[in-house]
Amino acid sequence: MKSEEIFRLFQAIGAAALKYDIEDSHSGNIAMKWLDENGTLRMAITATGSQKGDLEIDHICFPGIDKTTYGHYKASSETDVHAAILSLPDVFGSMHGHTKYATLVTLDDLPKPPQTPLPPLRPIDPLGFYHLGGEVPVRWLRVPTGSREAVHFVLGDLRDHQATYIQGHGPFARGKSVEHAFFNLCLVEHSGYILHFARLIGVNVPALQREIEASPEAFFAAPPRPYLLEDHKRCDFKDEPETVSAFLKTGRRIFESRLSPFHTGSISLRGVDTMLYAPKASMPDGLPGPLLEVPLRIEKGDDPELLVHKWIYHESSLQSVIHAYVPEAEVIHHYVYPGEDSPRNRIVPIDAEGSFLYLVIPVLPPRTDLDELIRNLVDYNTVVIRGGGVWSVGEQSLSEVLHHPSSVRDICFYRIWAIARGLDISKMEPERSKSW
């Protein structure tokens, strides 16, 4: 990889991190190790004080990767931390971010230094639980930025975890590539966001965490597809530029509207004998995922995600599908109405547009039979799976189906904040929804 290519990659990731709100204008670092034209292993890292959302080519530095260089200079003051991370086997990318909600849920007001180890961030969502290994360690450090202490603890934690958190400062994430590190960083914030709002609406989060850890299959659908090192520029239908544009536009909107974290979810469009498929639906500008053309017939090697798309087309006349991990839906399906013992099997819109579009949105169990899922999709167009994201379908275009997860996010957002304000949402739900 040439330095110009690294710059373009860092520029795209920096801009995406700013849009996803896991950096402020100047915070965080992006780093990777790479082989230069001479076959020499080197490190690339963003410069200290650079605007990650507006990187220029001279904001990328190339310090040594095999020696410590404590102190402040043009490269990030976190250079030694990133060099340590990149020294780990099979790690080629690392990132540090200033994630807002993950910071909120890991703060405390206890005396410092703490007398006992800090509790880890423990996700209650499927992406965080499976991809982050069930927890993100949290550390309090006397000098959280660029210190020997930071190098020691971050390196130790990332030997066994995808991410670690320095309390009040932010997470460090590792990856098989810099895109993979960004993926993990986004999932830390996604999980923190869900934990924050679950607490806000009264979910008993500690009890839920214990139950999930004891029996994850009772709370989550099939584990999400692992993050694969694929040819992200692959496009099997380049001869259809309008369709390519529609996929990229849809992927950009999924990312920028926070309908699903970076490179999660999936999109498909039905053809005659084939299906156009994006296995990494959330695609910001400059960071596409592969755009594939695959047989419509069900094949032995199909992964669970791909199989759902194919089965929907096999059993219906539907033309487009989006699967997204909408964080607000992941929060609200845990809500228990006052006086009740368990969450309900539906989400009722309390806003005008949501009520116009949907009488209710079904909430199905984690391991719902595919035929039951399809029956609900045909009837309601969009369905929330407990611990499995939001599945939506359309009869025509990608634009049509995109409307559903976008609406689900708004519907759940209004419900979350109405509950947080202390409003009785049962009084706000349309009367006709009660006979559903």
Model confidence at 70, pLDDT cuts 50, 70, 90, reads: very low
Q: What is the mean pLDDT of residues 417-432?
A: 95
User: Tokens 């929907």, residue?
Assistant: 312
Domain assignments of the chain as residue spans, ordered by start: 3-214, 241-435
CA distances from 212 to 110, 200, 216, 280 (A): 27, 19, 5, 26
Helix (H, G, I), strand (E, B) or coil at 339: coil
pLDDT in the model for residue 69: 44
Residue 310: which H helix or E strand, with range? Answer: helix 304-314
Mean pLDDT of 96-122: 95
Q: HSE on the CB side for 57, CA within 13 Å?
A: 4
Give residue-wise pLDDT tens across range 264-316.
999 999 999 999 999 999 999 999 999 999 999 999 999 999 999 999 999 99
**Longest distance between any two alpha carbons in the chain, whole Å:** 71
Instruction: Kindly give the residue spans of alpha helices, DSSP state H, lying in 57-177.
Output: 79-86, 100-106, 126-131, 148-158
Query: pLDDT tens across 8-21, in order?
Result: 999 999 999 999 99
Please work out, in degrees rounded to the nearest 5, the angle formed at the alpha carbon of residue 284 by the alpha carbons of 79 and 137.
45
Average pLDDT, the chain: 94
**Distance (Å) of CA 280 to CA 220, 333, 426:** 20, 24, 37
Strand partners, 363: 384
Is 241-435 in the same CATH topology as 3-214?
yes
The token duo for 366 is: 């984690």
Tell me: the pLDDT tens digits for 23-42? 887 888 999 998 877 788 88
Question: May I ask the CATH class of domain 3-214?
Answer: alpha beta
Q: What is the DSSP letter of 121?
A: B
Q: Which residues contact 371 (CB under 8 A, 6 or more apart)?
A: 315
Q: Is a pLDDT exceeding 90 seen at residue 78? A: no
C-alpha distance from residue 264 to each of 95, 97, 426 (Å)? 18, 19, 33
| pTM over 0.85, yes/no | yes
Model confidence over 211-232: pLDDT tens digits?
A: 999 999 999 998 999 999 999 9
CATH pick for 241-435 out of 2.60.120.260, 3.40.225.10, 3.30.70.100, 3.40.50.261: 3.40.225.10
